[in-house]
Structure 1
Amino acid sequence: MQQNHSFRAGRRSYTIFQVGKATLLRVSDVMKLKKTDVFNLDGTVKQTAFIHDQKTGKGNTLYLKPVQQDLMIYHAWLIQQNMNSEWLFPSTSRPDRPITEKQFYKIMARVGDLLGINYLGTHTMRKTGAYQVYTQSNYNIGLVMHLLNHSSEAMTLTYLGLDQASRETMLDQIDFG
């Protein structure tokens, strides 16, 4: 019974992860999203959303098309669950408030335990998304830097875990003829 209770809001947790991964937002910014940030009045998903990052105060335009389908399914789930809240990701116990970072951390830790992975955390979605953009954009560090709202390429490379040893390992794989 406890397992079912732990994941009763699985659709919400999944959507949080997908939105965080696609927008590269910090978990604090994902949790503070409101329905009006991402949905039009008719319930359709906006193409972009504009927020200010909590940590830096910098403006950030979010491209939502990659998670449009997930958000549409989630919107229907919110209606089905009768979750009437201004928050995109409301707490199940206090819908007038967003889910907390601490609660999402507990969810991620539980998922990690079930999968036998001990390094899942609240930054996993942001780092995963950043690394996917980096590798699938032909290693365009400038793009990743911009999406993460970082002020330097060095900061972004460190965030991605691409230190000197990692770069040397990558260079070892290249045939220089």
Structure 2
Amino acid sequence: MSIVRFDALKAVPWKNGLGITREIVVEPPGATMDDFLWRVSIADVDTASPFSVFAGIDRTIVLLEGDGFTMTLDGEHQHALTTACEPFAFAGEARVDVRLAGGATRDFNLMVRRGHASGRIDVVRGPVTMDGSNIALLHVARGEATIDGEACAQGDTAIAPRSVTLRDNATALLIRIA
């Protein structure tokens, strides 16, 4: 188990250069945007910029902070990502335009290469203690947690946790990869 602290994440430009992202982990280690198997990151959205296109990638996005935004996929389907901690899955090759609901937002992203792996995000709210043996990553979205005996704050991510205790009013994103 290892913990990635939010404060240690480096902000880098999006693939399309119109925003910033903080990569938490990529598999295999050192993979690029063109050859990762799966990738987890946190992005800041502060303008109505289109998302980067990732052909062959299944994406799941979760609003962490802010008022959110409305996504228009391929000019047709709209989805309001305005409720925190409610995952929304979509195809990475979709053309996604964004209309902010208010100010800047922060979201959590899981990207998985279709046909090579699958992934999902489950949301768990505290107080709860659980076995983490079938969890690839656990992201503390709200509040505090103790993971394998180590204190974790909002924004921290545990890779391959074994035991997890979420405190009162804490919310975690459980990422499962197959």
Check whether TM > 0.5. no
Greater Rg by CA? 1
TM-score, normalised to structure 2, is 0.25
- Could you say which structure has the higher helix fraction? 1
- Could you say which structure has the higher strand fraction? 2
